[in-house]
C-alpha cells in the first residue's frame, strides 16, 4: 500500500511545480509561506517542507533564510526563433576542476558530433558546467538553441532542462527524463572478460571508473555476467576504483600487484586511459605486457591517441561515429518538435584484438 504521507507531499510538489511551469510564479518571485501552502493543500507543514525539498532538488526554487522560498527557474525562450543555430556541448569539470575535453574520448566525441551538426547547418560549441552555474544563464550567454549534455552531469541541470523545455539530450550517460545515447557498456565489458577467459585467464584484476557514473555501473555488471558464465571470481583486493585518468591506472597496478603471491594474470581497465597508465605501472614494476600480464581497455582510443606509445591495445570499440550521428539526429529533431522523448539508445560495441593480451602461460 502506498504511504499516505508520501502521496500527500508528492501531491503538493506536483501542484506547486505545475503552477511554476505554467508561469503562476515568475523568476525571482516568492512562493506563499509554508502555512499558506499547507492551508491551500490541507496538509501539515512537515508535508509542505518535503514538497519544497523536492522543488529545491529539481532546481526550481531555493530557500532563502529570513526571506522565504524563491523561484529560480526561468522559462527557456528558444534561441532558434532568433535565428541562432548554435548547439551547446556541455561537460562537467573533473573533481580537480580540469577540463574533460582534453581527454581523448571527449575530444574525439566532440569532433564527431560537431561534424554531424555542421552537416545539418548547426554549429557546436563546447563549455563546462560548474555546480554553481545557472543553466539558463549558460544557455543565454552562449546563445544556444539546444544542449547536448555529456557524461556525469549533475542531475539538477538535467531536471532543469526538462522543466524549462530546453531542447536537450544526454550522451555517454543515462537520465530517464530525456533521450540518452551511450554505448552498450554491459555487453562491452562482457566481451572483454569473455576474451580473457577464452585465453585461459582465471584471475583477472579490474580497474573500475568512478562509481557514480552509469557507465561504470553498467560495465561492472557486464564483468559479473561474464564471470558467472566462465567461472571467474573477482578477488576484492584485485578490484580498484580509478577516476578514468592515466595516474589512477598507474596507481591501481602498484596496489594490486604489490604482493606477488597469486597475482592476477590479466587486468581489464574500464577505459583506455587507465589501461595505458596500468601498462606503464607494470613496466615500472618490471612486468611485461602481455608476457606477464594481459591488459584490455575500453573506448578504442589507441589509433587516435596512443599509437606511438605502446603495443597495439586490446580494447572495446564503442562505435563513437555512430554515437555522434545519433546524437546530432536526435538533438535537431528535439529542436524542431514539441515534447520530450526519454529513450535510452545504445550503440553496438566490438572487441578489437591487439598485442596486449595473450593466452595465459601456466607455470
pLDDT tens-digit profile of 339-352? 667 899 999 999 99
* Structure confidence at residue 86 (pLDDT): 93
Instruction: Give percent of the chain above pLDDT 70.
Output: 89
pLDDT (tens digit per residue) in 68-96: 998 887 655 554 444 568 999 999 876 65
Average model confidence (pLDDT) for the chain? 88
Mark the ranges of the chain whose per-residue pLDDT is less than 50.
Answer: 1-5, 79-82
* Structure confidence at residue 211 (pLDDT): 93
* Structure confidence at residue 1 (pLDDT): 40
| Residue 312 to residue 299: CA distance in whole angstroms | 13
Inter-residue contact 277 to 104 (CB < 8 Å): no
Domains in the chain (CATH in brackets) are 4-71 (1.10.10.10), 79-182+322-348 (3.40.50.2300), 185-318 (3.40.50.2300)
* Structure confidence at residue 81 (pLDDT): 44
The sign one gets for the Cα dihedral 186, 189, 191, 197 is negative
* Structure confidence at residue 80 (pLDDT): 42
Q: Which three cell numbers stand for residue 204?
A: 583477472
Inter-residue contact 275 to 295 (CB < 8 Å): yes
Q: Which residues pair with 68 in a beta bridge?
A: 64
Instruction: Give kind and range of the element (H or E) at residue 346.
Output: strand 344-347
**Number of other residues whose CB lies within 10 A of the CB of residue 17:** 18
* Structure confidence at residue 5 (pLDDT): 47
Q: Which three cell numbers stand for residue 311?
A: 603495443
- The one-character DSSP state at 93 is P
Burial class (CB in 10 A: 0-12, 13-18, 19+), 287: middle
Helix, strand, or coil here: 162?
helix
| Residue 184 to residue 188: CA distance in whole angstroms | 6
* Structure confidence at residue 83 (pLDDT): 58
Q: Model pTM? A: 0.80
**Residue position matching grid coordinates 555546480:** 131
Amino acid at each position: 500500500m502506498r504511504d499516505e504521507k508520501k502521496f500527500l507531499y508528492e501531491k503538493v510538489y506536483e501542484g506547486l511545480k505545475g503552477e511554476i511551469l505554467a508561469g503562476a510564479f515568475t523568476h525571482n518571485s516568492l512562493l506563499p509561506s509554508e502555512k499558506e501552502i499547507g492551508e491551500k493543500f490541507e496538509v501539515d507543514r512537515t508535508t509542505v517542507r518535503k514538497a519544497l525539498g523536492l522543488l529545491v532538488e529539481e532546481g526550481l526554487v531555493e530557500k532563502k533564510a529570513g526571506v522565504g522560498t524563491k523561484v529560480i527557474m526561468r522559462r527557456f525562450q528558444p534561441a532558434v526563433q532568433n535565428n541562432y543555430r548554435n548547439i551547446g556541448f556541455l561537460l562537467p569539470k573533473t573533481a580537480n576542476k580540469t577540463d574533460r575535453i582534453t581527454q581523448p574520448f571527449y575530444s574525439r566525441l566532440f569532433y564527431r558530433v560537431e561534424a554531424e551538426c555542421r552537416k545539418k547547418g548547426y554549429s557546436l560549441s563546447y563549455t563546462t558546467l560548474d555546480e554553481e552555474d545557472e543553466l539558463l544563464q549558460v544557455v543565454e550567454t552562449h546563445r544556444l538553441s539546444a544542449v547536448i549534455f555529456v557524461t556525469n552531469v549533475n542531475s539538477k541541470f538535467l531536471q532543469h532542462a526538462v522543466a524549462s523545455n530546453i531542447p536537450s539530450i544526454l550522451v555517454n550517460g543515462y537520465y530517464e527524463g530525456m533521450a540518452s545515447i551511450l554505448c552498450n557498456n554491459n555487453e562491452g565489458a562482457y566481451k572483454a572478460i569473455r576474451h580473457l577467459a577464452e585465453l585461459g585467464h582465471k584471475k583477472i584484476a579490474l580497474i573500475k571508473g568512478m562509481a557514480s557514473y552509469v557507465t561504470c555501473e553498467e560495465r561492472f555488471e557486464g564483468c559479473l555476467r561474464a564471470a558467472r558464465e566462465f567461472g571467474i571470481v573477482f578477488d576484492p583486493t584485485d578490484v580498484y576504483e580509478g577516476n578514468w585518468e592515466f595516474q589512477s591506472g598507474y596507481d591501481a597496478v602498484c596496489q594490486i600487484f604489490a604482493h606477488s603471491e597469486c597475482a592476477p594474470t590479466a587486468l581489464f581497465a574500464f577505459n583506455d586511459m587507465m589501461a595505458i597508465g596500468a601498462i606503464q605501472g607494470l613496466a615500472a614494476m618490471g612486468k611485461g605486457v602481455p608476457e606477464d600480464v594481459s591488459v584490455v581497455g575500453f573506448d578504442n582510443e589507441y589509433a587516435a591517441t596512443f599509437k606511438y606509445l605502446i603495443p597495439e591495445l586490446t580494447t572495446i570499440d564503442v562505435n563513437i561515429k555512430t554515437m555522434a550521428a545519433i546524437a546530432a539526429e536526435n538533438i535537431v529533431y528535439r529542436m524542431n518538435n514539441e515534447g520530450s522523448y526519454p529513450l535510452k539508445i545504445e550503440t553496438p560495441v566490438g572487441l578489437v584484438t591487439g598485442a596486449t593480451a595473450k593466452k595465459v602461460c601456466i607455470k
